């Protein structure tokens, strides 16, 4: 079983340096994938209300036999439930589907600035943490301006901001802001969503030099940036490969080569994207 390093968050809890993504898995696929991944050594699992697989994730955790306290379970608040009371109710629904007494990391999935209710949701999440129902609270797809507003209006910064991050879109400025504020960066779409990253000649060359796969090179790039990638896979061998990235290092030239390309966003722009 592969051992994974951890990061200490700004609330003194720990987060594994790599996790399992579950989008877009069905309930049954999520149950099988989570159970198998935990057996390989994964200890961070990421889901969301809008993934419609929280029940499967919870069943996978139970099926794995891994002690509950060893696993960090993340889920996310959907846009349609922004607001103080709505957030509290939505969390209870997520907790019920997961079959858990508490959730380790709860995130606001998208800021939806047009609705202008994410600060109200953040206040509810602070209460959930104070009540012991959530260990850590964070956000997803927030810009530096959104984060500054949370700090200004509540005095509480997120422990995590999960954002689109990959060599096509390395988010240098936002990662620097996170570092300055003590916020951990998590990476969604860490392998570039099948847009050719793993077939890139520069990535392949680094992989050949190191005797690893292109996917392992890219995931190692994330971990050396200090970000936490959450690659999705239900294939046991691919899960094992994705986790096995802590026994080698990219040198500075290789780190540069992996991300030396035209940078572009593959997902939604947080300033305008709306996902309810």
| Distance separating alpha carbons of residues 258 and 151, to the nearest angstrom | 34
Sign of the alpha-carbon torsion through 52, 58, 59, 63: positive
106 counts as catalytic:
no
CA dihedral 183, 185, 188, 189 (to 10 degrees): 150
Alpha-carbon distances of 148 from 78, 152, 173, 268, rounded to whole Å = 21, 6, 14, 21
Q: Show Cβ contacts of residue 67 under 8 Å, excluding neighbours closer than 6 positions.
A: none
Residue 44 phi, psi dihedral angles, 5° rounding = -130, 125
241: which 2 tokens? Answer: 């490969």
Catalytic residue among 42, 51, 106, 118: 51
| Distance separating alpha carbons of residues 150 and 157, to the nearest angstrom | 7
Q: Would you name the residues annotated as active-site residues?
A: 51
């Amino acid at each position: 079983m592969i051992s994974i390093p951890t990061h200490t968050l700004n609330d003194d809890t720990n987060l594994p340096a790599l996790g399992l993504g579950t989008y877009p898995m069905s309930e049954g696929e999520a149950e099988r994938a989570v159970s198998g991944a935990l057996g390989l050594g994964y200890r961070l699992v990421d889901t969301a209300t809008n993934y419609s697989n929280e029940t499967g994730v919870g069943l996978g955790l139970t099926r794995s036999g891994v002690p509950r306290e060893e696993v960090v379970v993340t889920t996310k608040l959907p846009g349609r439930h922004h607001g103080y009371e709505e957030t509290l109710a939505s969390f209870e629904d997520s907790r019920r589907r997961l079959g858990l007494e508490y959730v380790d990391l709860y995130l606001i999935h998208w800021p939806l600035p047009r609705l202008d209710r994410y600060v109200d949701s953040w206040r509810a999440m602070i209460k959930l943490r104070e009540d012991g129902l959530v260990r850590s609270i964070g956000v997803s797809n927030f810009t530096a301006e959104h984060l500054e507003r949370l700090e200004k209006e509540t005095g509480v910064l997120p422990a995590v901001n999960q954002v689109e991050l990959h060599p096509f879109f390395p988010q240098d400025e936002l990662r620097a802001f996170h570092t300055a504020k003590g916020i951990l960066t998590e990476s969604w779409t860490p392998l570039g969503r099948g847009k050719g990253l793993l077939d890139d000649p520069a990535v392949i060359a680094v992989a050949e030099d190191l005797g690893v796969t292109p996917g392992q090179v890219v995931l190692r790039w994330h971990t050396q940036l200090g970000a936490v990638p959450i690659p999705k896979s239900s294939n046991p061998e691919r899960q094992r490969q994705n986790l096995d990235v802590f026994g080698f290092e990219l040198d500075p030239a290789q780190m540069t080569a992996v991300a030396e390309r035209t940078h572009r966003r593959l997902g939604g722009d947080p300033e305008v994207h709306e996902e309810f």
